[in-house]
Structure 1
Amino acid sequence: MTESPRAMVGRSLEGVAILGTAAVIPETGARLVDNDEIDHLLTGRGQRTMSAEWLAMMGVQRRLWTCVPGDPPAVDAASTDSMLAEAIEATIADAGIDRSDVDMVVAATTTTSRLTTSMAAVATGRLGMQCATMEVRAGCASAAYGLATAYAHLGLGAGCVVVVAAETITKVAPGTGPPAYLAGDGAAGVALARTDTPGSGLVASWLSGDGSLSALAGPPGTLPPNQADLDQDRYRLVMDKRFDEAAAPWWPVGPTSVLDAAGVRADAVDALVMNQANRFRLVQTADKVGVPADALVDVVGKTANAGAASMLVALDRACRTGRAGPGSTVLVAGVGGGLCAAALVLHP
């Protein structure tokens, strides 16, 4: 990465507030799994388990599974689009609005359940909604890109945009070693709307990336599926160590750059919301950016690495604990496969 990577810096947009948030756990087709169960699973497969020290460093304690990593998904397993639909419903309910009030739904995911159709369209179809829909895919930074997209459309005239994220990473995760512990599924959402409330809105956004790293993270198999890739199990998630090394400097550069663009000091941040890769990366980033330790929103112990969904789960937690409330400053940042990176400064 160059010291100052080329980035798209977005201007501010006043008069947009967070109306509601939600994080959902499907009633069927998914279950919560703790580390002891994974230890037992891997031992039964004759594979090594991860040490208590490593688990403490990663911060993972439990996670939602729609599928046992390494196994074929069950017929009744929750799907990405079914969880998106649940997240839309829960978010709308928390916002106190009707489905007909929503002008647009933006769905963020890396684990789509359809080859071509937008997950936002499929999810809203489940609910009988008619509105603009689009899917955003930018690795684990997808939710941050989704938020940037929502603010852009609110600036173009939309009155209410719901951003939802869902992941079924366990369906593509290998059932061995670290991925078995780190992989998590989940869904969450946020409703944004134009408002007359002074002081609320987007202060600045920053989007960047490095496509030369795209082959180092994610399933290497191509679509539509072909027999050669299936035979070599190339539709399982792969995370090359070189990607983690190359991605490391991107974690602080986005937050630092967007704070500079917004004219906001790091110590003025009330909530730092990121995709929950692992606790080590979250704490390291907060420290390098200079954000107060108590501003870091850490839900990785309950979500593990649930990709794009984990960011909106963290945003929901920030809103419910008062760290992302009226008058607060929220820093959202994400880094994911691609490489894709994004950061935003918000006044909720």
Structure 2
Amino acid sequence: MVKIGQIALGDFPLLLAPMEDVSDPPFRAVCKDGGADLMYTEFISSEGLIRDAAKSRQKLDIFEYERPIGIQLFGGDIGNMVESAKIASEVNPDLIDINYGCPVKAVACRGAGAALLQDIPKMVKMTEEIVKCTSLPVTVKTRLGWDDKTKNIVEVAERLQDIGIQALTVHGRTRVQMYKGEADWSLIAQIKENPRMRIPIFGNGDIDSPEKALEYKNRYGVDGMMIGRAAIGYPWIFNEIKHFFKHGEKLAPPEMADRVKATRKHLEFSIRWKGPKLGIFEMRRHYANYFKGIADFKPFRMQLVEAPTEADVLAVMDQIIEHYSVPV
């Protein structure tokens, strides 16, 4: 049984990655249905929380059915990160996660995210102060290093464990790689094999099929996996992986009715949470993912994107079901 503090996650948990502009409550709802064992909020700016910025505050919204759920924070100032961790703790998540892995320039150039991989003493100090300020379990998500010359994650993992983190997720790329090339899990395996390590180690990067998940589970010996991009538009991947682990066979892919059902739920939650205008607008980027690979779907996708109201979108979905239904 894998545990983060007292949070029991099963024998081999599958985690939903915190993805900016993706891992919001509507998306998390369909991923929970799809079998995610632990989910995270989108990463939240520590400065935004302290300024009481509306967008940052809204990202603190969590719901009981999502549990266990972690709030992920990022920032470059230790004092601000401590204050934001206190604010986040007040909404009663199951854990606090620190982002030391985001590679995008807007984050890293502000000394946050993966930028801390260039200043390990500061990373350790920041983590230590956050651990001290909250009674919740604190976890970390990071990368192998800043570049190929600074792949120091094995040493960093020890130091972070020693000051109190209770789980570590490692994306198998450096910051310089961004999301290019193939993720290298060999150093993640070295962390897990280190006899000093006693906290759960989760691998992240390139898990996009049940077959690959089983291969990496067996090859690298991690305690669980975090899945990000492969879940976008395909929340079924979590249960598909679990079924493959257990039975050695693949589940049938979701039928059109399953795809429409998940899309409807995502849309309806998006409208409730964001309001009708923004909820419909931001949902438009998801339609291509939910119906990826469906033959001759482009006309319907265009109708979904152009539909101005919830009723219009749902009417198009009814047409999709009728068009793709299998004759009896």
Q: TM-score range by the shorter chain?
A: under 0.3
Name whichever structure is richer in strand by fraction: 1
The structure whose Rg is larger is 2
Higher relative contact order (Cα pairs below 8 Å, separated by 6+ residues): 1
TM norm structure 1 = 0.27
TM-score, normalization by structure 2: 0.28
Structure with bigger helix share is 2
